[in-house]
Amino acid sequence: MAADPTRGPDFRWETPLWTQGLVRVAGVDEVGRGPLAGPVVAVAVILPPGWAPVGLDDSKRLTPQQREALAEVLCANAVDWGLGSAEPDEIDRINIRRATLAAMARAVAKLQSAPQYLLVDGRDLPDPLPCPARAVVKGDATSVAIAAASVLAKVARDALMRDLADRYPGYGWEHNMGYPTAQHRQALRERGVTPCHRRSFGPVRQALEML
Rg (CA), the chain: 18
Strand, helix or coil at 183? helix
Q: What is the mean pLDDT of residues 155-181?
A: 98
CA–CA distances in Å: residue 82 to residues 41, 42, 79, 186, 187: 11, 8, 11, 35, 34
197 DSSP assignment: B
Q: How many helices (H) and strands (E) does the chain have?
A: 8, 5
Q: Which residues of 5-33 are buried (b: 16+ CB within 10 A; e: fewer)?
A: eeeebebbbbeebeeeebebbbbbbbbbe
Identify the pLDDT of residue 2: 46
| pLDDT at residue number 1 | 43
Counting residues of the chain whose pLDDT is more than 90, the rounded percentage is 95
Q: Region 178-185: what's the mean pLDDT?
A: 97
- Write down the pLDDT at residue 7: 73
What structural domains does the chain harbor? Answer: 9-156 (3.30.420.10)
Determine the pLDDT at residue 116: 98
**DSSP 8-state symbol, 2:** -
Q: Is the pLDDT of residue 86 over 50?
A: yes
Query: By the 8 A CB rule, do 49 and 150 touch?
Result: no
Q: What angle do CA 161, 162, 167 make, to 5 degrees?
A: 90
Cβ atoms 111, 87 nearer than 8 A: no
**Residue 82 pLDDT exceeds 60:** yes
Over residues 57-81, the pLDDT tens digits come to 999 999 999 999 999 999 999 999 9
What values do phi and psi take at 12, rounded to 5?
-60, -35
pTM: 0.95
Q: Please, are residues 62 and 140 in contact by the beta-carbon 8 Å criterion?
A: no
pLDDT of 8: 86
Q: At what angle do helices 182-191 and 202-209 cross, to 10 degrees?
A: 30
